């Protein structure tokens, strides 16, 4: 027996109603782009700000190292009083007066001449640390950018999945109304109506999960940017990525080795540790300094016999210092510096291996997501056509109601798969850009 066409009429009405509601909502919504969230996250990030402060500290350490090779001028002033002094006689004609109040003021100019490369290596170490700090700011910026983009596309995914499930729930609600009407008219069984209610409950559960995922994504965006999104905020749709080409792995790895700021950080840390080891080994060699000294003293100890009046003296010459014995202090410092150098070398090798792994993983994830996009689009088109065909057959008594419910579920899943695959492709593209170093380069331009 031919079934009522109420289902078709109510479905068309529901779809039209949802379309008008969606249009009104779109007009009220505020579109939020990925670039906006990215910029706000970078401006708010405490990690980026801390890395910038570390860069300022590295600049200061570089200035300190440079100053060690330049002249230094020191001023020294002393004043003292001695009690209980008495005149001393050194013969019948020579008496040393007791001078209780003594004063001195002097200026010393020192210029390093030779330090066995210690100052040179210290300057090189500080320069490499400065370069590492600059690269660390870039690395931290890229990490925060990746986190912001991943959070944004996770929000986009859950937001559009939520809209898709709302549309699916409205479609199933319309079918549930039809089934209750058909049951009342004796054209459907209670089991058919119950199966429809179960499908509606399952779809409603997915809708609630998507709603919570959207709320969680918004909370993460608030954490990254420092503000909550407006209630009407709407993310961009994930762009169709079926035609995107994935570069060859060897080309990506070559770019990553060149571009990744993390590798630059490790490389400069190794070079800094290498220069630091050279500075420490310079502790074994003698050091020469050019020294000029001018002093006013009362009394001046260089004058004999001493007089209770101001007298000056001056000195200019070369001073050599050489640590002959320090109970193994220098030797232990050299061992420590060499161990730090080896540690930095191993950390550099580990970072290169990690970069290679990250590129391989990101490339595979992107390829998988792109493959899913193409299949998901075809599956959605097929599921939509299948629902229409099965519904027409059911209305004409040529198929079972369970097939209609299966077709509804398949279309709902297919629509979810399209949104998820495209969002995952956007996530994978961001991860690959980060792994190759393009993300940091695009931000720092």
- Domain limits, the chain: 18-68+117-283+329-444, 70-81+97-114+287-321
Beta-bridge partners for 296 = 105, 312
- Banded pLDDT at 243 (limits 50, 70, 90): low
Whether the pLDDT of residue 4 is over 90: the answer is no
**Mean per-residue pLDDT, 7-17:** 37
Q: Note the pLDDT of residue 23.
A: 36
H runs (alpha helix) in 68-88: none
pLDDT in tens, 125-141: 999 999 999 999 999 99
First to last CA, the chain: 70
How does strand 88-89 pair with strand 95-96? antiparallel
How far is the CA of 80 from the CAs of 86, 205, 298, in angstroms?
Answer: 16, 88, 11
Distance, CA of 148 to CA of 146 (rounded, Å):
5
* Torsions phi, psi for 71 (to 5 deg): -65, 150
**Mean per-residue pLDDT, 236-252:** 78
Q: How many CB atoms lie within 10 A of CB 309?
A: 11
Please tell me whether residue 83 adopts helix, strand or coil conformation. Answer: coil
| Weakest-pLDDT range from 82-96, 146-160, 324-338, 362-376 | 82-96
Whether the pLDDT of residue 13 is over 80: the answer is no
CATH class as words, domain 18-68+117-283+329-444:
mainly alpha
165 Cβ contact partners less than 8 Å away, ≥ 6 residues apart: 203, 206, 207, 210, 412, 416
249-259 helix and 329-395 helix, angle to the nearest 10 degrees:
140
- Banded pLDDT at 2 (limits 50, 70, 90): very low
Considering only residues 238 and 355, tell me which one the structure prediction assigns the higher pLDDT: 355
- What pTM was computed for the model? 0.80
* Torsions phi, psi for 189 (to 5 deg): -90, 165
Neighbouring C-alpha atoms within 13 Å toward the C-beta of 142: 25
pLDDT in tens, 198-224: 988 998 999 999 999 999 999 999 999
H or E stretch including 268? helix 261-281
Quote the tokens at residue 122: 């210290």
């Amino acid at each position: 027996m031919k079934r009522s066409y109420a289902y078709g009429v109510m479905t068309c009405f529901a779809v039209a109603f949802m379309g008008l509601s969606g249009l009104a909502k779109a007009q009220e919504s505020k579109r939020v782009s990925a670039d906006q969230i990215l910029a706000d996250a970078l401006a708010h990030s405490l990690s980026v700000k801390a890395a910038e402060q570390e860069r300022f500290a590295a600049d200061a350490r570089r200035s300190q190292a440079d100053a060690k090779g330049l002249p230094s001028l020191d001023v020294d002033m002393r004043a003292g009083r001695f009690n209980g002094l008495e005149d001393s006689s050194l013969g019948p004609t020579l008496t040393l007066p007791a001078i209780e109040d003594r004063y001195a003021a002097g200026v010393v100019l020192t210029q390093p001449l030779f330090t066995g490369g210690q100052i040179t290596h210290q300057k090189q170490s500080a320069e490499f640390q400065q370069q590492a700090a600059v690269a660390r700011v870039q690395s931290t910026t890229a990490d925060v950018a990746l986190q912001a983009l991943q959070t944004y596309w996770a929000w986009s995914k859950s937001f559009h999945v939520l809209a898709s499930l709302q549309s699916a729930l409205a479609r199933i609600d319309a079918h549930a109304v039809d089934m209750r009407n058909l049951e009342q008219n004796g054209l459907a069984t209670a089991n058919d109506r119950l199966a429809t209610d179960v499908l509606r409950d399952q779809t409603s559960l997915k809708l609630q999960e998507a709603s919570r995922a959207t709320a969680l994504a918004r909370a993460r965006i608030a954490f990254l940017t420092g503000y909550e999104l407006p209630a009407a905020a709407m993310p961009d749709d994930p762009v169709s990525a079926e035609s995107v080409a994935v570069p060859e792995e060897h080309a990506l790895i070559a770019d990553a080795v060149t571009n990744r700021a993390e590798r630059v950080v490790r490389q400069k840390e190794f070079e800094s540790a290498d220069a630091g080891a050279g500075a420490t080994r310079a502790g074994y060699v003698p050091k020469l300094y050019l020294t000029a000294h001018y002093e006013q003293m009362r009394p001046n100890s260089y004058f004999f016999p001493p007089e209770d009046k101001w007298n000056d003296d001056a000195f200019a010459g070369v001073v050599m210092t050489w640590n002959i014995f320090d109970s193994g202090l220098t030797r232990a410092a050299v061992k420590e510096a060499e161990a730090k150098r080896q540690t930095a070398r191993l950390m550099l090798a580990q970072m290169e291996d990690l970069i290679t792994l990250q590129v391989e993983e990101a490339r595979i994830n992107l390829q998988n997501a792109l493959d899913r996009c193409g299949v998901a689009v075809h599956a959605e088109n097929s599921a939509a056509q299948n629902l229409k065909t099965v519904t027409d057959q059911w209305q004409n008594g040529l198929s079972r109601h369970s097939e209609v419910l299966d077709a509804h579920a398949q279309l709902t899943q297919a629509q979810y798969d399209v949104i998820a695959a495209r969002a995952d492709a956007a996530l994978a593209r961001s991860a690959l850009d980060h792994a190759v170093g393009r993300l940091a380069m695009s931000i720092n331009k």
